[in-house]
Amino acid sequence: MKYKLIASDIDGTLLRTDKTISPRTLNAIRNAMDKGAVFAVSSGRAVHFCRLFEELTGLKDVPFILYNGARILTGPEHTVTFRQELAPSVAMWLAKAGIEAGTTVIVWSDDTLYVNELNERTERYKTLSLVPPKVFTDPEEVTRNGASKVLWFDEIDRASYLKDILEASPIRDKINYFTSDPRFMEIVDASCSKALALEKLCKMYGIAQEETIAFGDGYNDLPMIEWAGTGVAMANAPEEIKNKADLVTLSNDEDGVAVILERYFQ
């Protein structure tokens, strides 16, 4: 099988725990690109990550799937080729419901990071996103233009409680939600997922589904792993994800992505 498109999650997959990319992994990606493959980033991160990724890797003209599929950027100028926001009423409901549930609410709207309060969780998220947050007090005001995604940040043992809130909500058919990190409940529009975005990207490039290979470690990666011609789970992924993947590679700290790319792009 000659793969023509490689899609990879970032955190817990492509990057090591210390948020660096190994020379081996970078060389494997460059080798695949030199042989004609398209390498695509597929992440829950925001648009600010595009420049950071380019600085980190030196790779240019890489397509980006961001906000867990709510945005696709292509070309050297990061042109937006797909964008689907949560409707204002839906984003507002999610912000209010999260506050009422006593969780930390994070809203990405107009590529700006908003939080309902500053605390240890938002400080951790700031370190991850590298974007300074702005505190909001009025959910309606901060969601008037909709939102790329809303994230509820809580303790792991509250995940099922938060999931139950979403399942029973009046907006259930208008949203799609995932846990990327066990403490992150990430919510996007119902028409968004990494799988749907990957499918759109393949159509843009004229690449068939069976010609794709996708790497991931989180539940937000599972739709993409299942959709791709070959779905690869990292060794550090939960067992459920590994069981549904076509292949399981080594962990993100053991050059798991490179191991597979070297096999197929010798």
- Average pLDDT value for residue range 239-258: 98
Domain coordinates in residue numbering, the chain: 5-83+193-264, 88-189
pLDDT tens-digit series, residues 17-58: 999 999 999 999 999 999 999 999 999 999 999 999 999 999
Q: 175-188 in b/e burial notation, b at 16+ Cβ within 10 A?
A: bbbbbbbebbbbbb
Instruction: Give me 52's structure tokens.
Output: 């950071």
pLDDT tens-digit series, residues 57-100: 999 899 999 999 999 999 999 999 999 999 999 999 999 999 99
Q: Is residue 163 pLDDT above 90, yes or no?
A: yes
179 pLDDT tier (thresholds 50, 70, 90):
confident
Residue 151 CA to residue 171 CA, distance in Å, equals: 15
The sheet with strand 212-216 has its strands ordered as 79-83, 71-74, 64-66, 38-42, 5-8, 212-216, 230-233, 247-248
* CA neighbor of 12 nearest in space, from 261, 254, 265, 260: 254
The CATH code of domain 88-189 reads 3.30.1240.10
Q: Which CATH architecture has domain 5-83+193-264?
A: 3-Layer(aba) Sandwich (3.40)
